[in-house]
A and B are shown apart, each in its own frame.
Chain A
Amino acid sequence: MTDRPTSIDEMISALGAQGYVCGRDLGTVSYLALDLGMPLFLEGEAGVGKTEIAKALASMLGRRLIRLQCFEGLDVSSALYDWNFAGQMIAIRTAEAAGQSDRGALQSELFSDDFLIRRPLLEALEPHDAGPPVLLIDEIDRTDEPFEAFLLEILSDFQVTIPELGEVKAQEPPIVILTSNRTREVHDALKRRCLYHWVDYPDFDRELEILRARVPAAAEQLSKEVVAFVHALRGQDFFKSPGVAESIDWARCLVALDAVALSPELITDTVGALLKYQDDIAKIAGAETTRILDQAKAELARAG
């Protein structure tokens, strides 16, 4: 178990060592989340690195990462715990065959630890050798209100009750990170218990730093052009602007094609890594690609 950072600067450099480049703002909230033991609620467009920070935190601290992917209708049996019914049925048949008639014994055997299937939330509450795990509750906006309400209880006390077994309480609360793409507003009651942070697109220098950390194989000039081009695209009126994840994917594509600099033809061939809507792709087809590329290059030249 690694010690946790003792200042914001340490936090930022420790995350940087994991290949996660973050700004002062995200560094501050992450540090506070660890220090105050509060859940961290990250909201932002798809592909700005919300999920990645949980992974970086887990490997930075040497903790286990437990991920709960949300979806509509997520319920206790897939989020918290379930019983192994097939196993229980076999246990019943065996008891019958053996002529066992003690009901109490059967009941406690059927609902014992042996037949309990742990789901992410229960796992996160149980003790771990490496220290409390990092619990990532991903895309909370995809689930529905009943599950949000259920989370409220867990996030405030870090304890749950399993009717057949009794109470489970975390000795040390896990580090909780919630992410949302804002496809709907998550209820205030849940947000109130968390530190809130809106993850924005990074500025030029930071995105360049991210690319250097994530795609070290890319030539410096190529990385710069990629970032400049992506930034120029974000200024356009698109249905979905490319996120950081798209920049990284795109840079990887270009490296795979042995590119050292951008050209309009190269962009047209690989634009699928960057823009995911046909309308958006149609918008930058042909001369428009050249124009944006020239604009990006001019911007680069001006910045020196």
Chain B
Amino acid sequence: MSETLAELPKTDGRLVDNVVHFTQALRKAGVAVGTGQVETAVRAVSTVGFSNRLDFYHILRATLIRRVTDLEIFHQVFSMFWRDPEFLESLMHSLSPQLESSDTPPPAAAARRRAEDALGDRKESQPEKPKTEVVDFAAFTWSSKQVLKTKDFEQMSAAELAEASVAIRSLKLPVKPFLTRRTRPDARGSLIDARATLRKAARRGGDIQDLAQRTKRVRPPDLVALCDISGSMAVYSRIILRYLHAMAHTRVPIWGRVHAFTFGTELTNISTALKKPDPDIALGAIGQEARDWEGGTKIGDALARFNRDWTRRVLGRGAVVLLITDGLERGDLDLLEQEAARLQRTARQLIWLNPLLRYDGFAPLASGVSRLLGNVDSFHACHSLDSLEALSSALGSPDLRDHYLRLRR
């Protein structure tokens, strides 16, 4: 880096130093800044000249910042840094403990249980059906009061990992892959590849023997999962999140981009956490990120927030929305109906997966359930959520929406 900077036009040496220091402060604050950007920044400052503070601010912002989410932190760091150069020292001190504490646990610890499983160190070698979802009676009641709470999940066992991959393999997706506008060569394709035909013809002196053909490429649809984590569903959240994680990390992708959100009393985007390849780390991060575990349910509010803040950003490519909830709504029912209807219009397909029909004689009597049922494209359910297989078969089973809508009448 020092070599690159040495080639720059002669400027005030201290200015270059300061820009570099400033960049370091930005990095400490969590903004990703590349060396190339620093070079551009210094070049920009030297072309414009250090005329006034405001221009300097905009020059650095234009060259060093690449994301709208970093603007605020840039502003903070800039105003503090250039007011008081000594500030850098204190900034570094003040930020470091915070950064450490927000780090996720190291992967070695996360996979420990699996390592123990593999080495046979675990005492209960008889894997009594991992009773991870401890039934808590409080969890079966629901309320609208907001309780902020994070959650720690039990680590994954080797058997559970194996179970997940089997369940995913048996999954039959209820949606078709997406036909894209891109094509690939295919001898039995339906589109004529004029370009390849002509190229071949030119090689044979203008003699066209056969037509080269192409076919449209397909891509798996994107998935957006909206996952209820309120009191009545919290018992099953671990198994559901495990399932989502497994769907997002198959070797041959069955979904395109996967985004996931949890909702109870608030809506949390857990997509980044879900992207982490290790399921323990992913679930651990999700448990910390969402802060409304086992609280009340306001499905309507959550859908409204999703519609307003996220649909344009995650449903742009025709994503399928998977709504995982029992439909027990404590909020405004009209709002629920209205927002579900809007979501159904925006999404390519809105699938409601009810992981727990409490009893066989389920009828959509709870008004939230019946309002929601009329505004989804398909409805899938399982009666007891004791394995991931159950989720797979529920999702792959025929659509139950019309059946239950008829029951309602």
Residues of A bordering B, CB below 8 Å: 7-8, 24-25, 28-29, 31-32, 35-36, 38, 43, 71-73, 75, 77, 83, 85, 88-89, 92, 95-96, 101, 103, 106-107, 110-111, 141-142, 144, 146, 181-185, 188, 191-192, 195-198, 237, 239, 279
Contact = CB atoms under 8 A, between A and B. Distances in A.
A188 B67 CA distance: 9
Name the 4 nearest CB pairs between A and B, nearest first: A73-B181, A28-B58, A183-B316, A92-B206
A72 B181 CA distance: 7
Contact of A196 (B47, B66, B198, B205): B66
Interface centre among A8, A43, A191 (most CB of B within 10 A): A8
A8 B55 contact: yes
A184 B32 CA distance: 19
Contact of B182 (A73, A184, A188): A73
B95 interface: no
Nearest to A277: B342
Nearest to B206: A92
Interface in B163-209: 180-182, 194-195, 198, 201-203, 205-206, 208
A16 B194 CA distance: 48
Given A24-B54, A24-B55, 18 more contacts: A8-B48, A8-B55, A28-B55, A28-B58, A28-B62, A32-B62, A35-B44, A35-B47, A36-B44, A77-B195, A85-B198, A89-B198, A111-B202, A144-B180, A182-B313, A183-B316, A184-B316, A279-B338
A32 B63 contact: yes
A32 B59 contact: yes
A256 B203 CA distance: 63
Interface centre among B40, B48, B202, B307 (most CB of A within 10 A): B202
A181 B367 CA distance: 38
Given A8-B48, A279-B342, A96 B206 contact: yes
7 contacts: A32-B62, A106-B202, A144-B317, A184-B314, A191-B66, A197-B62, A279-B342
Interface centre among B62, B195, B307 (most CB of A within 10 A): B62
B58 A29 contact: yes
B123 interface: no
Nearest to B62: A29
Interface centre among B71, B195, B206 (most CB of A within 10 A): B206
Given A72-B181, A73-B180, A192 B68 contact: no
Interface string B291-305: 000000000000000
Contacts of B338: 279
Contacts of B206: 92, 95-96, 106
Main secondary structure of the interface of B (DSSP, over half): helix
A97 to B, nearest CB: 11
Contacts of B308: 237, 239
Contact of B198 (A8, A83, A142): A83
Given A141-B316, A197-B62, A88 B182 contact: no
Contacts, number: 105
A36 B202 contact: no
B37 interface: yes
Interface centre among B44, B208, B342 (most CB of A within 10 A): B44
Contacts of A43: 68
Contact of A183 (B54, B198, B307, B313): B313
Contacts of B62: 28-29, 32, 195-197
A95 B62 CA distance: 57
A77 B314 CA distance: 28
Contacts of A31: 48
A83 B308 CA distance: 44
Nearest to B219: A144
B48 A32 contact: yes
B34 interface: yes
A32 B180 CA distance: 38
B330 interface: no
A85 B195 contact: yes
A192 B66 contact: yes
A146 B182 contact: yes
